[in-house]
Amino acid sequence: MKGVNFADLRDAGDPVELARVYDAEGADELTFLDVTASSGNRETTYDVVRRTAEQVFIPLTVGGGVRTCDDVDRLLRAGADKVSINTAAIARPEFLHEASRRFGAQCIVLSVDARRAETPSGFEVTTHGGRKGTGIDAVEWAARGEELGVGEILLNSMDADGTKNGFDLELIELTRKVVRVPVIASGGAGAVEHFLPAVKAGADAVLAASVFHFGQLKIGDVKAALRAGGVEIR
């Protein structure tokens, strides 16, 4: 069981300092998603990754605007342990296979931004922060990602995101049935009690952002609740 934290680069303070705090509080992994991901902001991202990797010794996943194998290479060289790929894979799924073959499945993560829609599973893949639908079935896409060689699925519920009403358990359960690689559940965490049901639904890791950034929850309290629920945790 891993507790994963998403560090937003814009409004929650210095990301490197936040990473140090989360490391000290017992986070098992960190995820940086550069939500702006413009070419002008790219050097800032590399700098943040480099400075974080120098100070934090837990696995670091970085995503946002990753379009080529050269992008993956630069992030790994800057200090990322894993690279999350989203929109570029939708445009050209072979990118996942190429990246996995070149760098190894263990460091390639498929980020799936899913929302409820009229698809076979009831969920579709979205882009642009959940605003644009693609018509692609999200659960089938996760399974395709595994076939193409990714080592993890970062499963973002765009319906639950920001609601603080809990993770989307149906989405987690459906995805768990079709993939063997680790599934990281994201979107909806608002209380300590929300994390255990996500793990029981099939998540190998649970990710949260604002509840940690703004002090509503403590990592240690979440871990204690998971242990009390019978989850083996570091």
Q: Dihedral of the CA atoms 211, 19, 179, 64 (nearest 10)?
A: 100
Residue 172, helix vs strand vs coil: helix
Six-digit token string for 37: 């991901």
Domains of the chain by range and CATH? 2-228 (3.20.20.70)
Q: What is the pLDDT of residues 142-176, one digit of tens each?
A: 999 999 999 999 999 999 988 899 999 999 999 99
Please state, in angstroms and rounded to a whole number, the distance separating the CA atoms of residues 124 and 136: 5
Residues sharing a CB contact under 8 Å with residue 223, sequence separation 6 or more, in sequence order: 3, 26, 233
Confidence band for 45, pLDDT divided at 50, 70 and 90: confident
Do β-strands 152-157 and 132-137 pair in parallel, antiparallel, or remain unpaired?
unpaired
Of these ranges, 27-36, 121-130, 144-153, the one predicted with the greatest mean pLDDT is 144-153
Mean pLDDT in residue range 40-67: 88
Q: What is the pLDDT of residues 200-228, one digit of tens each?
A: 999 999 999 889 888 899 999 999 999 99
What is the sign of the dihedral through the CA atoms of 21, 23, 27 and 33? positive
**Residue 5: pLDDT over 80:** no
pLDDT above 90 coverage of the chain, percent: 74
Task: Give the predicted TM-score (pTM) of the model.
Answer: 0.92
Mean pLDDT in residue range 46-65: 92
52-to-6, 57, 97 alpha-carbon distances in Å: 13, 9, 28
